[in-house]
């Protein structure tokens, strides 16, 4: 992997290191326009919808998505295709002498790589998904023509604050004075965003009507994500006709977002209660009768998510994930519930036991959980 020597789970929020690196490299990001996308859930989907809409208008687009599910190159897209690993490796080799002493974090490296690759590929627009929060996220060094905020719920509370209002306050900081700020946030989060937009003079647009066009990505929130992307394209000056919109929204794809593999397996990276509620609603509407595989990070609200799964799944197989942030023995012990919840030594083992029931299987809880199983399924041609 291109950044295998950089620890993924070391977070040091702030913009100074990224700004310093871009300055040393001659500001590659200034060769194209920027869009920032923040929010709790639906950021990646919104990025990809906007990418596809702009592509339908003949525009060249670079997109960052994070985190990846199975392959590091998922984080860097040029015109809907992942940038090849050897290209990223060559870019790192070229820029490292200029930035080695700055101490860039993993995510900051990703932003710098994206900025340079997008310049090299001569994109017209760079769409940057915010990784954590907004105010101090590395992507917030960009100068967005448009900023987007998807729905906001409780997640990363240790970093962003324990309330929706505090989290919204962090994410609202991707707005810019005199520029469009478009959101599908509601209630308390919208109140905070509205106040901040007024404070700095951002031009707020609230999207509250879902898109009627069918979307290739599944789940209750996708119609609103698509509507958000369409409004963003409009604010950027594009007016796609119905045919282009239909094609764009029906060709968008992201791995691990209510992704159905074969007729038995559903993969979804839901890692907070709000996302889990969407997944369980989808399964129930589909008439799901089956079992679940669940692995999660220790700082997530796993108890609430487990209760949701137990209402929809006849049995849940739980396991640690391949991360030093995984939930541990104590957390898993607290979720055991007779034969309804079965503890396994690994996510892969949990999946094999789930398949052995002969029932449908949903795999969820984190990007790590889905990534481990998706990689195995793709390799075996399941």
List pLDDT tens digits, range 202-254. Answer: 999 999 999 999 999 999 999 999 999 999 999 999 999 999 999 999 999 99
Same domain, yes or no, for 205 and 315?
no
Which pLDDT band, with edges at 50, 70 and 90, does 148 fall under? very high
- Tell me what percent of the residues of the chain surpass a pLDDT of 70: 96
- Does pLDDT of 370 surpass 80? yes
Beginning with the edge strand found earlier in the chain, give each strand of the sheet holding 265-267 in spatial order.
Answer: 259-261, 265-267, 360-364, 290-294, 316-318, 341-343
Domain-located, residue 72: yes
Residue 42 phi/psi, 5-degree rounding, is 90, 5
Closest CA to 155 of 38, 49, 68: 38
Q: What pLDDT is recorded for position 14? A: 86
Q: Whole-prediction pTM value?
A: 0.94
CA distance 234 to 9: 37
Give the tens place of pLDDT for each residue, 169-212.
999 999 999 999 999 999 999 999 999 999 999 999 999 999 99
Whole-number average pLDDT of the chain: 94
Domain-located, residue 104: yes
Residue 91, domain extent: 16-250
- Does pLDDT of 156 surpass 70? no
Q: What pLDDT is recorded for position 13? A: 77
Average pLDDT of span 86-103: 95
Q: What pLDDT is recorded for position 1? A: 64
CA distance 323 to 314: 27
- Does pLDDT of 66 surpass 80? yes
Give me the helices (H) in the chain, please. Answer: 16-24, 43-56, 85-99, 106-120, 157-160, 164-171, 187-200, 222-235, 242-250, 273-286, 302-312, 329-333, 347-356, 367-380
Which pLDDT band, with edges at 50, 70 and 90, does 160 fall under? low
Q: What pLDDT is recorded for position 161? A: 75
Q: What pLDDT is recorded for position 61? A: 99
Domain-located, residue 1: no
Same domain, yes or no, for 339 and 290?
yes
- Does pLDDT of 382 surpass 70? no
Asked if 21 and 114 count as a contact pair (C-beta separation under 8 A), the reply is no
Cβ-based neighbour number of residue 7 at 10 Å: 10
Same domain, yes or no, for 246 and 263?
no
Which whole-number Å values give the CA distances from 160 to 45, 207, 276, 285, 326, in the listed order? Answer: 22, 24, 20, 33, 20
Give the tens place of pLDDT for each residue, 115-135.
999 999 999 999 999 987 788
Asked if 358 and 264 count as a contact pair (C-beta separation under 8 A), the reply is no
Which pLDDT band, with edges at 50, 70 and 90, does 157 fall under? low
Q: Of 10 and 103, which is predicted with more confidence?
A: 103
Q: What pLDDT is recorded for position 381? A: 61
In the block, which residue shows the tokens 């789970």? 9
Asked if 10 and 106 count as a contact pair (C-beta separation under 8 A), the reply is yes
- Number of domains forming the structure of the chain: 2
Same domain, yes or no, for 225 and 283?
no
Same domain, yes or no, for 115 and 219?
yes
Helix (H, G, I), strand (E, B) or coil at 341: strand
DSSP run (H or E) holding 294: strand 290-294
What are 196's two structure tokens? 């901040």
What are 107's two structure tokens? 């995510």
Domain-located, residue 5: no
Ramachandran class of 178: left when φ > 0, alpha when ψ lies in -120 to 50, beta otherwise: left
Same domain, yes or no, for 193 and 76?
yes
CA distance 231 to 148: 10
Which pLDDT band, with edges at 50, 70 and 90, does 6 fall under? confident
Cβ-based neighbour number of residue 359 at 10 Å: 15
Q: What pLDDT is recorded for position 4? A: 73
Helix (H, G, I), strand (E, B) or coil at 181: strand
Same domain, yes or no, for 96 and 205?
yes
Which pLDDT band, with edges at 50, 70 and 90, does 378 fall under? confident
Q: What pLDDT is recorded for position 153? A: 84
Buried b / exposed e over 68-77, threshold 16 CB at 10 Å, is bbbebbbbbb
Give the tens place of pLDDT for each residue, 69-92.
999 999 999 999 999 999 999 999
Q: Is the backbone peptide bond immediately before 67 cis, with ω within 30 degrees of 0? A: yes
CA distance 374 to 378: 6
CATH of the domain at 290: 3.90.190.20
Average pLDDT of span 281-288: 96
Q: What pLDDT is recorded for position 251? A: 97
Same domain, yes or no, for 21 and 51?
yes
Which pLDDT band, with edges at 50, 70 and 90, does 280 fall under? very high
- Single residue among 216, 250, 284 that ends a domain in this structure: 250
Give the tens place of pLDDT for each residue, 311-329.
999 999 999 999 989 999 9
Give the tens place of pLDDT for each residue, 340-355.
999 999 999 999 999 9
- Single residue among 201, 232, 250 that ends a domain in this structure: 250
- Single residue among 250, 278, 308 that ends a domain in this structure: 250
């Amino acid at each position: 992997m291109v950044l295998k020597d950089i620890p993924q789970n070391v977070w040091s929020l702030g913009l100074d290191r990224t700004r310093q690196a871009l300055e040393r490299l001659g500001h590659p990001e200034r060769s194209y326009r920027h869009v920032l996308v923040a929010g709790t859930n639906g950021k990646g989907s919104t990025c990809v919808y906007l990418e596809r809409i702009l592509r339908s208008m003949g525009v060249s687009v670079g997109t960052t998505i994070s985190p990846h599910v199975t392959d590091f190159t998922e984080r860097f897209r040029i015109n809907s295709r992942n940038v090849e690993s050897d290209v990223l490796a060559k870019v790192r080799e070229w820029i490292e002498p200029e930035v080695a002493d700055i101490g860039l974090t993993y995510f900051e490296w990703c932003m710098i790589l994206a900025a340079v690759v997008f310049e090299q590929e001569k994109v017209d627009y760079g769409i940057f998904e915010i990784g954590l929060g907004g105010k101090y996220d590395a992507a917030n060094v960009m100068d967005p023509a448009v900023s987007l905020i998807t729905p906001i719920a409780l997640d990363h509370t240790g970093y962003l604050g324990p309330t929706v209002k505090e989290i919204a306050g962090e994410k609202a900081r991707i707005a810019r004075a005199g520029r469009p700020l478009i959101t599908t946030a509601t209630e308390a989060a919208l109140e905070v965003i509205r106040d901040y937009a007024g404070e700095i003079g951002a031009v707020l647009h609230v999207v509250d009507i879902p898109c009627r066009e069918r979307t290739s990505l599944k789940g209750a929130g996708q119609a609103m994500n698509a509507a958000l992307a369409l409004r963003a394209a409009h604010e950027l000056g594009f007016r796609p006709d119905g045919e282009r919109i239909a094609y764009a929204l029906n060709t968008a794809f992201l791995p691990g977002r209510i992704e159905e593999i074969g007729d038995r397996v559903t993969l979804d990276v839901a890692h907070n209660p709000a996302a889990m509620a969407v997944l369980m609603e989808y399964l129930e509407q589909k008439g799901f009768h089956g079992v679940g595989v669940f692995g999660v990070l220790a700082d997530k609200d796993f108890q609430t998510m487990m209760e949701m799964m137990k209402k929809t799944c006849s049995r849940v197989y739980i396991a640690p994930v391949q991360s030093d942030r995984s939930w541990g023995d104590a957390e898993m012990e607290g979720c055991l519930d007779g034969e309804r919840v079965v503890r396994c030594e690994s996510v892969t083992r949990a999946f094999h036991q789930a398949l052995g029931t002969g029932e449908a299987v949903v795999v969820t809880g984190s990007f790590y959980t889905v990534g481990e199983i998706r990689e195995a399924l793709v390799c075996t041609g399941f």
